[in-house]
Amino acid sequence: MIPQPARALLVHNNHMTATLGRHYAEPVALTVLDHRHSGDDYRRKIILTVGDGRTVEVGVVRLNLKYVSQDVRAAIVERRTPLGDILGKHGVLTRVEAKWFLRFPPTTPVVECFTPRPTGDVYGRLGLIYCDGEPAVELLEIVPG
């Protein structure tokens, strides 16, 4: 069982950007820690933060850019705006499908990406985002416990 507030942040079929913004009552900012881009394959490791610098999500995303327009592709590879904000702004019809939920103990290396560093477990979800009906995005999203 996933405890609150992680449960509310993960167990839904919405974009995390919007969910995190509502939960923290402020916009989230994107930092891309690493990225790789080859043709239509685009991958990145990211953190999302709120205004005081707290990390509210650590994520790994793999996008198949052939399923998005050139404008959406350009905004994604620019690495300035969270994916959910880009897709919403460009009116991309999306469906988010959570597939698996995960628990990471505080000794897991991914926990080191959070600021401040959580002392307890963190939780995540593996899922897909369908863009205009196509499975365009595979993702792992992890939030503090």
pLDDT digits (tens, 9 = 90+) for 106-120: 999 999 999 999 999
Q: Is the pLDDT of residue 145 over 90?
A: no
CA–CA dist 85, 72 (Å, integer): 11
Nearest to 61, CA basis, from 85, 88, 34: 34
- Structural domains for the chain: 6-140 (3.40.1410.10)
Q: Which residue has the tokens 């477990």?
A: 121
CA 83 to chain centre: 7
Amino acid in position 107: T
pLDDT in tens, 19-50: 999 999 999 999 999 999 999 999 999 999 99
Rounded to two decimals, the pTM is 0.94
